[in-house]
Amino acid sequence: MKFYRTFEGLVGGALFREMRMVRLLDSERQVAKWQSRLKSSSYQECLTDDPFHIGDEFHSEFGGFTIECAGHLLAADFIDAVKKFMGDQWQIGEILEPEPQGMTIFCEGVNGLYNPLFDWVHFRPAKGEILTVRINDLKEDRIVNRGRVWLLPIGDGVFRAGATYDWDSNDCNVTAEGREFIESRLKDLIKVPYEVLDQQAAVRPVIGTRKILIGIHPGHENVGFFNGLGSKGVLLAPFFAENFAAHLCGEAEIEEGVDLRGNL
């Protein structure tokens, strides 16, 4: 949160929306698991003291809980702002030879799969699709999650709903199967009618170990790697970017378990 608010101040724009999130349980097994998790004090700081409530528009027969510390990064706007902020330090396109001076850090997402410098990194990309829907009968300003579907309010009765996981495709083409999957889950979440306005697809940069990898190339001291953020990049990037920057300045070791050189 500190990082995103600081960056908003630097670029003069709103990029992160603080929101609550409602997690609806969908089985007795989940109820039992939640009761067990409540015994951990680390969960308490993320929960609101307000009584749990959800509208009749939702399927909520197993109850749920409200998470206080959630939010939504306007990712496309954030990336555009970063590009402008970095100026010439942000390079797009094929780099045949890294610069002999300074450090070239490859932050390519799923395109890292095709980088010959890192052809030994085991990528396992996961394609995902989402829908944009209009739900006129739903007045909800919190993120709502149930089972394998989430609903994110955008404003004026418009929501985003998702998402799918496809481990066999690396393209950004929308599919009828993706829409059908999300709609089937959406009907398990809400009881009111909706209208599909748009469908989008993209590919999550997942590395085989399902964890972020950062560090310096084992054979090139002036080549860095920052990738594998998967579906949690908004949460992971600020912490690990700070850790990598400190490492490059000789002030810290890379966090255990995510060092590129330690995962050869």
pLDDT tens sequence across 222-244: 999 999 999 999 999 999 999 99
Q: What is the pLDDT along the chain (264 residues), one digit of tens a residue?
A: 999 999 999 999 999 999 999 999 999 999 999 888 888 888 877 787 778 899 999 999 999 999 988 999 999 999 999 999 999 889 887 776 777 778 899 999 999 999 999 999 999 999 999 999 999 999 999 999 998 899 999 999 999 999 999 999 989 999 999 999 999 999 999 999 999 999 999 999 999 878 899 999 999 999 999 999 999 999 999 999 999 999 999 999 999 899 999 877
**pLDDT, position 96:** 66
User: Listing from the earlier edge strand, what are the strands of the sheet with 104-106?
Assistant: 104-106, 223-227, 213-216
The neighbour count for residue 4, using CB atoms within 10 Å, is 17
Short-list 230, 262, 259, CA closest to 243? 259
Q: State the CATH class of domain 126-204.
A: alpha beta
- Per this entry, what is the length of the chain? 264
Question: Can you tell me the distance from the alpha carbon of 182 to that of 164, in angstroms, rounded to the nearest whole number?
Answer: 7
Residues 115-124: pLDDT tens digits? Answer: 999 999 999 9
Q: Where are the domains of the chain?
A: 2-73, 104-122+207-263, 126-204
- Is-contact 222 100, C-beta < 8 A? yes
Beta pairing class for 158-162 and 126-134: antiparallel
pLDDT value for 163: 95
Task: Using DSSP, state whether 95 is helix, strand or coil.
Answer: coil
- The answer to pTM > 0.85 is yes
pLDDT for the residue numbered 121: 94
- The strand pairing partners of 90, in sequence order, are none
Query: Which sign, positive or negative, has the C-alpha torsion 166, 170, 174, 176?
Result: negative
pLDDT tens profile 164-201: 999 999 899 999 999 999 999 999 999 999 999 999 99
- The 3-class secondary structure across 13-44, one letter per residue, is CCCEEEEEEEEECCCHHHHHHHHHHCCCHHHH
Q: What is the pLDDT of residue 38?
A: 84
